């Protein structure tokens, strides 16, 4: 069986298209799904969703300042991403998304529901779905018995195709970052490699970027770690898992 893992931290960017209550409303549909879930949330979001904790849902109070990447914040004097949405793609936002694998590590160590597999699902992922609310909930519940022995992750771009992109500055969509999962052993290995590479980038390049860029660099050296499936930022990110 599989446990869903997710998190939400407030005030890491200033995007105008989605406020805190919008994210909460998206997340409520994830919380309603009848499947084991471990959700990490800062105090602001925790107060909004704590009433949804039940026998299938563990909600953990968490502080963004405890994310290990914050230890390097004063070194990142080369952080200057090429982005069309600078209000969204802030340094703190990069910290939060690059920390997904560490949240996964914490959930695996807790293993509140004694499951063999774990799957990350972005807290607000419902915004990419084009289906009725009850159908979305059913799609999430269908993940309960999907298990894999590697890191299962959606690829959008062909991972064998090379694009003329500065991977430290521009977003890459070899992978979709909203969903990934697998067994404990390979997810922990993935977490180790992600943390090691993030620290290396921050110390040597004096910057950090989107988690999907970091993951692609890991894939280039460790493709045997991954089990890819085709997807886009739509229903297929869950349907094809």
CATH of the domain at 117: 3.90.550
Residues 203 and 174: their CA atoms lie apart, in Å, by: 25
Q: Is the pTM value of this prediction over 0.85? A: yes
141 is in which domain, residue-wise?
2-239
pLDDT tens string, the chain, 241 residues long: the values are 999 999 999 999 887 677 889 999 999 999 999 999 999 999 999 999 999 999 999 999 999 999 999 999 999 999 999 999 999 999 999 999 999 999 999 999 999 999 999 999 999 999 999 999 999 999 999 999 999 999 999 999 999 999 999 999 999 999 999 999 999 999 999 999 999 999 999 999 999 999 999 999 999 999 999 999 999 999 999 999 9
Strand arrangement, sheet containing 37-41: 57-61, 37-41, 2-8, 117-121, 175-183, 151-155, 226-230
Instruction: Report how far apart, in Å, the C-alpha atoms of 227 and of each of 3, 94, 236 are.
Output: 18, 24, 16
| Length of the chain, in residues | 241
- Residue 138 CB neighbour total at 10 angstroms: 13
Residues 116 and 162: their CA atoms lie apart, in Å, by: 35
Domain count, the chain: 1
227 and 153 Cβ atoms separated by less than 8 Å: yes
């Amino acid at each position: 069986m599989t446990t869903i893992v997710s998190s939400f931290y407030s005030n890491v960017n200033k995007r105008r298209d989605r406020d805190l209550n919008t994210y909460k409303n998206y997340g409520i549909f994830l919380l309603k799904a009848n499947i084991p879930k471990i959700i990490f949330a800062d105090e602001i979001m925790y107060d909004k969703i704590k009433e949804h904790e039940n026998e299938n849902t563990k909600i953990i109070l968490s502080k963004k300042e405890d994310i290990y990447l914050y230890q390097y914040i004063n070194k990142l004097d080369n952080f200057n991403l090429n982005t069309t949405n600078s209000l969204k793609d802030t340094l703190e936002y990069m910290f939060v998304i690059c920390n997904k694998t560490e949240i996964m590590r914490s959930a695996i160590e807790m293993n509140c529901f004694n499951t063999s597999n774990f799957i990350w699902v972005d807290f607000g992922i419902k915004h990419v779905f084009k289906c009725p609310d009850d159908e979305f909930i059913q799609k999430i519940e269908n993940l309960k018995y999907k298990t894999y022995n590697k890191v299962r992750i959606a690829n959008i771009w062909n991972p064998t195709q090379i694009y003329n992109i500065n991977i430290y500055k521009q977003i890459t969509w070899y992978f979709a970052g909203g969903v990934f999962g697998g067994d404990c052993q390979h997810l922990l290995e993935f977490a180790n490699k992600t943390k090691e590479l993030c620290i290396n980038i921050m110390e040597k390049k004096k910057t950090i970027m989107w988690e999907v860029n970091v993951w692609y660099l890991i894939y280039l050296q460790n493709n045997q770690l991954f089990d890819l499936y085709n997807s886009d930022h739509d229903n297929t990110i869950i349907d094809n898992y």
